A = this chain, B = another copy of it.
């Protein structure tokens, strides 16, 4: 289904006008990681860089969705247009992204200046983070600011997604205890603001204290990062969280740190694309299955095989008329 230039023109018009249909179609296109997706990003990219992008992550059950909805309403109340991407690794066990969409959208769907959508990875090669990056760009280009990115889990996938946004909020809840310490490894380091949600539960002070201790142990200035108590279901603490995020934006911008982060994110993004590129080229250049069969009989080790395939890609690509 080749998309013509005029198709793309029309889609871009719809995206710039923030038409829901166009935004949805654009995001679907980006999820599929096709060549058309690359063409769309080519159109979108020059329009990006205006939105402050905020990632919200934390263990399942910490109330991230409710918190993100509250945050969106708070931004909306001050006249901002808010985009939300709920990143949902599709799996037969989670029910996929569509259900999430419906559940999450209910109470926001009537406001045309809050756009919310789940994003799931579909292509085998794309992964979650690249599609999310492209999706955030689309909402940025459409004029949403801030763009909020919410993840479902707390694994490496989510860490990768959090490495695509300007600022990271890590949400925890009282009573998770020691187990949470291990889960948070990898994400603690990139958090800008911590939230202890469900702060009407017993153990909230202890949770804050535990978090403080963990941050102090890091000895990297982490201890100065704010910890905000919220009860997202009653919209308590949300405005305070927003103030911290606004302050964070100002500080990041003034120190040149925002620019530095975006540069590193761009680096990861281009590296991801190069990785995809070499795998496609390898499949085109050699009969990968036949090569793997030889290696699986232990006649050749994986390193030697990879080197040989790489050389073959270089050879066959460079000899092709370009």
Is A89 among interface residues, defined by CB-CB distance under 8 A? yes
The answer to whether A279 and B269 have CB atoms under 8 Å apart is: no
Starting from the known contacts A266-B295, A273-B306, 9 additional A-B residue pairs (CB-CB under 8 Å) come to: A41-B303, A49-B298, A93-B214, A93-B217, A94-B182, A266-B292, A270-B288, A275-B279, A317-B318
The answer to whether A185 and B41 have CB atoms under 8 Å apart is: no
Q: Which of A68-76, A156-164, A196-204, A224-232 lies at the interface with chain B?
A: A156-164
Q: What residues of B have a CB within 8 angstroms of the CB of A319 in the complex? A: 318
B-facing residues in A236-263 (Cβ within 8 Å): 259, 262-263
Expressed in whole angstroms, the minimum distance between the Cβ of A292 and any Cβ of chain B is 6
A219 to B282, CA, bound (A): 35
Q: Which of A5-13, A111-119, A307-315 lies at the interface with chain B?
A: A307-315
The answer to whether B274 and A282 have CB atoms under 8 Å apart is: yes
Is A223 among interface residues, defined by CB-CB distance under 8 A? no
Residue in B189, B274, B302, B311 whose beta carbon sits within 8 Å of that of A278 in the complex: B274
Q: What residues of B have a CB within 8 angstroms of the CB of A267 in the complex? A: 288, 292
Is A14 among interface residues, defined by CB-CB distance under 8 A? no
Cβ contacts A284-310/B at 8 Å (1 or 0 each): 000010011101101001111111011
Is A123 among interface residues, defined by CB-CB distance under 8 A? no
Is A45 among interface residues, defined by CB-CB distance under 8 A? yes
- Tallying the copies of this chain within the complex gives 2
Q: What residues of B have a CB within 8 angstroms of the CB of A220 in the complex? A: 92
Known: A182-B60, A182-B94. A262 touches B153 (CB 8 A): no
Expressed in whole angstroms, the minimum distance between the Cβ of A155 and any Cβ of chain B is 2
Cβ contacts A42-64/B at 8 Å (1 or 0 each): 10111011000000000111000
Is A99 among interface residues, defined by CB-CB distance under 8 A? no
A182 to B269, CA, bound (A): 27
A218 to B95, CA, bound (A): 10
